[in-house]
Structure 1
Amino acid sequence: MNRAELASFLRTRREALQPEDVGLPRGQRRRTGGLRREEVATLSGMSTDYYSRLEQQRGPHPSAHMLAALARGLRLSLAERDHLFQLAGHAVPHRSVRADHVNPGMMRILDRLQDTPAQVVNHLGETLAQTAPAIALLGDETRHTGLARSAHHRWFTDPRVRQRHPAQDHETQSALLVAHLHAAYTRDGRGSRAATIVDDLLARSPEFTRRWQEHPVPGGYCPAKRFLHPEVGALELHCQTLVDPDQSQTLLVFTAVPGSESDEKLRLLSVIGAQVV
């Protein structure tokens, strides 16, 4: 681990980022040219003290998980992320692991949607980043670990997940998720993370097995959906999608018809916040 080079790299990338780049107000008393240390720490989901010690060459040896969080917080490109890992003494992540890294362009768009339920997911249904309204609507989907990171996996293994959708919509949702996991498996092949998820579900879920054997093909990724929220009740939302160039990540933006009951409930959720979930 090259502490001096790591500290210098973090500092230069922090100073190059402007508050507007990450959806933060500049304010009138800002003295630094770029972001403050505490802002980078918040964006990366770590304490200000932890991040500050890294820049001061006296911090602990960061784990791969912490480096990935820093790469997202600093809006690094994949090449910059690889360099960050090397400076910290870690092997450069393989391409399959890079599916965890949010495209910087996606992050810039997400930063400008902070008042809207929006999130970035990869082709395995793993949520990589969410706005606060998305957390209020869906819960913190980035907290999951292991195979449960995949929404496809959770749907067939955790009965609580289905409680967020009306029972009459479960068949449609199941078919959609299996179709998209099938597409990911076809793309990545045996030995991939997609294959690990599929193998586990084939062993655990008869429903998944039955649908998998039908060789489903995905249609529209995110049609209109109905949600059952524990605090505000039923919502009918539309989902607009933006796919990055290599098709590995999708930005999902949930909206309601203006003036509708669902629109009012989304506004209420933005006030209530994520503490209700």
Structure 2
Amino acid sequence: MDKQELGAFLRSRRERLCPQDVGLPTGPRRRTPGLRREEVAVLAHISTEYYVRLEQGRAPRPSAEVLAGIAGALRLTDAESGHLHVLAGTAPARAGLHRRDVRPSILALLERLPRTAGFVISAVFEVLAWNDLAAALMEDFAPLAPRDRNLARRAFLGPARDGATPYGISDAAEFRYHVVTQLRTTVARYPADQDVTGLVDELRTGSPHFARLWERHDVQAAPMLTKTFRHPTVGEVTVDCDTLSLTDRDQYLVLYTAPPGSRSAEALDLLNVLGAEAGHYSA
């Protein structure tokens, strides 16, 4: 149980709610934003003293029933509720380290996918495996060291950190936000993994933007359904984005496709022929 993170998460969610959000009268003007602690306690059917101690990181581990009440009181989403249980230590525990080995069946699948740029990322956004079309669309990851294949590090600390967009993508801001929310849940699952905590510390120290987003304690981003790459050789390529969770290893299979007959589909076909040396991004 991470008492300090649990308290910070509860406080961040309480301060975002207004009385009318939970069916309470607005009342007189408030000096601080959000619900009062006693209001959350009443809605969650627990004592105010116990809830205050939870936010301060001084309370014993709450039961699943108490967490369910708090989740309802704070109007948490399913993802936020799951994160709450992880922080409280009531969710099933994972192994101490996140996995970087990709199943052979997934590696074979990547090579068989037609007209699809596909790659696998770890729980900390390291590109672990990819097919030729992904290398042609983004970059050839083969000569890069593992730390340089990390998309989180590239997004916040790489050449794109000063306003440019990694791989010329159209949704760089959304992607950076997605990175932060995913890493927030990853740290909660692997608090003893120094590769995980070290990456977060590096990003918090090296990127004020990451640090600001990190302090929001968000754990769920809107799904990215489409993305446009501005490729140096074939121009704009708009793709549909599908991300499949490989739950046994806490990894993700990312697939980029384009509608048949579209200009973007033709661009992917051309990249498939030209290969990874077709062009490289400067940012």
Q: Which TM class, normalised by the smaller chain length?
A: 0.5 to 0.7
**Is it true that 1:140 corresponds to 2:143 in the alignment?**
no
Alignment-derived partner of residue 69 in structure 1: none
Q: Distance in 1 between matches of 2:206 and 2:156?
A: 8
Q: Distance in 1 between matches of 2:276 and 2:233?
A: 11
The structure 2 residue matched to 1:171, chosen from 146, 170, 173, is 173
**Is it true that 1:106 corresponds to 2:76 in the alignment?**
no
The unaligned stretches of length 5 or more in structure 1 are 1-93
Q: Label 1:107 to 1:170 Cα distance change in 2 as closer, same or farther (>3 A).
A: closer
Post-superposition CA distance 1:122-158 (Å, at most 9, x none): 1111111111111100112344325333211111011
Q: Distance in 2 between matches of 1:223 and 1:180?
A: 17
Alignment-derived partner of residue 230 in structure 2: 228
The structure 1 residue matched to 2:261, chosen from 254, 259, 262, is 259
Q: Label 1:142 to 1:177 Cα distance change in 2 as closer, same or farther (>3 A).
A: farther
- Please identify the structure whose Cα radius of gyration is greater: 2
For residues 152-163 of structure 1, the aligned pairs below 5 Å read 152-160=152-160, 162-163=165-166
The structure 2 residue matched to 1:208, chosen from 185, 207, 210, is 210
Partner SS, residue 202 of structure 2: helix
Post-superposition CA distance 1:56-87 (Å, at most 9, x none): xxxxxxxxxxxxxxxxxxxxxxxxxxxxxxxx
Q: Distance in 1 between matches of 2:103 and 2:173?
A: 32
CA RMSD after TM alignment: 2.3
Q: Distance in 2 between matches of 1:195 and 1:137?
A: 30
The unaligned stretches of length 5 or more in structure 2 are 1-94
For residues 70-85 of structure 1, the aligned pairs below 5 Å read none
Q: Distance in 2 between matches of 1:112 and 1:146?
A: 24
**Does the CA contact (< 8 Å) of 2:191 and 2:197 recur in 1?**
yes
Q: Label 1:191 to 1:274 Cα distance change in 2 as closer, same or farther (>3 A).
A: closer
Determine what percentage of the aligned residue pairs are the same residue.
31
**Is it true that 1:184 corresponds to 2:186 in the alignment?**
yes
TM-score by length of 2: 0.58
Alignment-derived partner of residue 39 in structure 2: none
Higher relative contact order (CA 8 A, sep 6+): 2
**Does the CA contact (< 8 Å) of 1:226 and 1:236 recur in 2?**
yes
Q: Distance in 2 between matches of 1:115 and 1:218?
A: 30
The structure 2 residue matched to 1:195, chosen from 189, 194, 197, is 197
Q: Distance in 1 between matches of 2:199 and 2:182?
A: 12
Q: Distance in 2 between matches of 1:269 and 1:125?
A: 24
Alignment-derived partner of residue 96 in structure 1: 97
Partner SS, residue 164 of structure 1: helix
Post-superposition CA distance 1:144-187 (Å, at most 9, x none): 32533321111101124725235x63321211111111121121
Q: Distance in 1 between matches of 2:188 and 2:175?
A: 20
Q: Distance in 2 between matches of 1:233 and 1:128?
A: 27
The structure 1 residue matched to 2:219, chosen from 217, 220, 229, is 217
Alignment-derived partner of residue 237 in structure 1: 239
- Residue 197 of structure 1 aligns with an amino acid whose one-letter code is L
Moved over 4 A (4+): none
Alignment-derived partner of residue 276 in structure 1: 278
Partner SS, residue 100 of structure 1: coil
Q: Label 1:200 to 1:149 Cα distance change in 2 as closer, same or farther (>3 A).
A: same
TM-score by length of 1: 0.60
Alignment-derived partner of residue 125 in structure 2: 125
- How many corresponding residue pairs? 182
**Does the CA contact (< 8 Å) of 2:167 and 2:231 recur in 1?**
yes
Partner SS, residue 96 of structure 1: coil
- 1:222 Cα shift? 4.3
